[in-house]
Structure 1
């Protein structure tokens, strides 16, 4: 772990050096201004690892402040680095066009001299990075809005028409998400008066002793048929067994490769839940197993719905016979440019998709992880309604 962290820090230093060499000489100002920006980049190199390492969730005082600063700087530098890379591509294209022996190339150089292009793009990169950071902080720190999703189910019994599920996912109670952030989320969910509440993992980022006071609002969640939860990968980083016990103490139904049968009127629904896709790395007893979650389920159930943290569970869930899977994990990418990188690891990024014969809904998450920033990937509290699928002629 220490070796991995050192490699990450080394890469971080090199990336900071790249940004410095590409932007500082291009910016207007005197030597003092350039020195100040160089010192800021050095500070960034030092504070970002603090935000990465001090994620115990229980930090107070100066340690908590340093974590906040480090995580904010991580988000800002991510924007700055991405925009610097884009700037270099733009300047390369500009240089290629300007070097062509055509009249429009000469006109381009006259209208936008090289030194002006270099200076203006450097200033634009910094201004855009600041704007994106401020927008991202607002999006992350506001209470997640409620969005409505309808899932069409073939042959859905009348008793289940309009059955509502309030889904929360990826709250990440921890260093920067505390009780004050969680309370309004719980209030919003309870106001939906949903038939069931589903929490699809990554509720915490820290230990039970550090965070139990801040996860306490979860005990107020209400659903007509109960509140159900499955573990995400971050529960395993923080000690899954301890958190499962704590969630159960709070009155939440934790489903670990098992199911319950919910009855509404004359219709029944199988609700399954599996441990995180990667849980086997923390012990074979926790290995994710949709087939086991389906084992013994009544064959006449009108619907088979699975809660699974990662979309990657989808193939096994469909094979096990589930009709719908609710997931999270991806955060929808959380902020640019990571929303494009999610598909490298996961089959789907966000929203309602068809995975073979099964519907899958992937929440963008109700909180955030790491930097308190969301850009181009808004958070959500999801109100899902089951509706009858249109009858094909």
Structure 2
């Protein structure tokens, strides 16, 4: 049934798209190229996913099939909107002519109103924008790393940490990478920030620890004088593939933990660490994944803060930002700064820094990208380092977050 609905929707989209093409050109070669591209993309998608084996996980070829399908379908949806709008006026006009007029056209033959060429030209022109954007996102956008810098002020920040700098990365999804040099460039970019500490907020892999192994020597170059800390994300547990046994799944997670340790990350599993300077301290608290909507709830905030005083300055690492709303922001403890990821900003949206940001993911997550403040507490939702499923990014670029902590209030 799902395949029937899929074929029906694609058929409707192609009807309108082909109508637009036929209106502006009479060249048969254009028609041949159109159908070769359409059938090639659909055929590849069906080939990649018919009988999909969950034991193998989501491969790069699966990802590319999804990407090209999106690149084909989204522009056609734009064409549907334009061409259907024309039909809203064209069809009633044609029906009126057919049933209400005695004759129509030459030799008494009634004619249905033709499509207007300029409408088809407008439709194809507008459809070209998402088509080009998606292809750019697949080719370059997924590695278009951006360093986003913030300064946050806290009246109770210990004096020794005034000017302290954190770098946050999230959602690496190492199994999706297809360009080692771009990953090396991003690691160098992280180190260039010269932050005091590097914090990773989950989803090191798509599913399997083996995805990370080729990149361990690259990630081992990450360096910060106060260390590297990390937590697990929902994908790190291996819940989205079919394992031969529960023991194999458990071993996969243990292997991932070992690889993170080899890189130099101190993986926090519902626990905390203190960074001390000049007799003062800052608490780094890490919970396992806690998410709404069917995502794993392994996070235990109460266990994670054992040994942390209520008046300690706290930085919480929690992969899913829904945790902040559900448990963190209204907790008896005051969590000065929470760092999350998970949403990827849906890898698609429109952003004008400091002015406007939008993505469809906002309908799923209240806090989906950037800094938010509530009750004197902040959360930063990182847009992600890597990508998943769709092999690209359009408008929502991969992010390296740099946050400077300042003591006192923000100057007006």
Which TM-score band (shorter chain)? 0.7 to 0.9
- The secondary structure found in structure 2 opposite 1:349 is coil
The reply to whether residue 347 of structure 1 matches residue 340 of structure 2 is no
Partner of 1:304: 314
Partner of 1:21: 15
Partner of 1:38: 35
What is the aligned residue count? Answer: 366
Q: State the SS of the aligned residue for 2:213.
A: helix
State the partner residue of 2:288: 275
Structure 1 gaps, min length 5: 1-5, 100-112
Moved more, 120-129 or 313-322: 120-129
TM-score by length of structure 2 reads: 0.77
2:301 maps to which of 290, 304, 327:
290
Show the 5 A alignment for 1:172-251: 172-177=173-178, 179-237=180-238, 239-251=252-264
Is the CA contact (8 Å cut-off) linking 2:287 and 2:301 kept in structure 1?
yes
Match of 1:331 among 311, 325, 344: 344
Question: What TM-score do the two structures reach when normalised by structure 1?
Answer: 0.80
- Name 1:103's counterpart in structure 2: none
Q: 1:189 to 1:85 in 2, by over 3 A?
A: same
Write the distance in 2 (CA, Å) between the matches of 1:10 and 1:244: 43
Using the TM superposition, name which of 31-40 and 290-299 deviates more.
Answer: 31-40
Q: CA RMSD in A?
A: 3.4
Partner of 1:77: 72
1:44-193 map, 5 Å: 44-48=41-45, 66-67=61-62, 69-88=64-83, 91=86, 115-137=116-138, 139-177=140-178, 179-193=180-194
Runs of 4+ in 1 over 6 A off after TM superposition: 92-96, 279-283
Question: Do 2:172 and 2:384's aligned partners in 1 also have CA atoms closer than 8 Å?
Answer: yes
Change (3 A) 1:163 1:95: farther
Distance, in Å, in 1 between the alignment partners of 2:84 and 2:379 is 37
User: 2:391: which partner in 1?
Assistant: 372
| Structure 1, 156-165 or 29-38: larger mean CA deviation | 29-38
Relative to 1, partners in 2 of residues 1:90 and 1:356: Cα closer, same or farther, differing over 3 Å? farther
Structure 2: distance between partners of 1:17 and 1:345: 29
Give the whole-Å Cα distance in 1 for the aligned partners of 2:48 and 2:232.
Answer: 24
Partners of 1:124 and 1:313 in 2: how far apart? 43
2:317/2:338 contact within 8 Å kept: yes
- Secondary structure of the corresponding residue to residue 371 of structure 1: coil
Q: What is the DSSP-based 3-state SS (H/G/I as helix, E as strand, rest coil) of the residue aligned with 1:297?
A: coil
SS in 1 for 2:210: helix
- Rounded to whole Å, the distance in 2 between the matches of 1:92 and 1:266 is 74
Matched, 1:358 2:377: yes
User: Any conservation in 1 of the 2:229–2:267 contact (CA below 8 Å)?
Assistant: yes
Deviation at 1:126, TM superposition (A): 4.0
Deviations 1:88-119 (A, max 9, x none): 575478779x99xxxxxxxxxxxxx9512432
Which stretch has the larger CA shift, 263-272 or 45-54? 45-54
Change (3 A) 1:311 1:38: same
CA contact (8 A) 2:45 2:66 kept: yes
- The more displaced of 31-40 and 178-187 is 31-40
- Unpaired runs of 5+ residues, structure 2, are 95-113, 242-251, 351-356
In structure 2, how many angstroms separate the alpha carbons of the residues matched to 1:196 and 1:387?
15
Inter-CA distance 353–300: structure 2 relative to 1 (3 Å threshold) = closer
Residue equivalent to 2:104: none
Offset, 1:58:
10
Q: Which entry has the higher C-alpha Rg, 1 or 2?
A: 2
Structure with higher helix content: 1
1:206 CA drift (Å): 4.2
Return the alpha-carbon distance in structure 1 between the equivalents of residues 401 and 271 of structure 2.
23
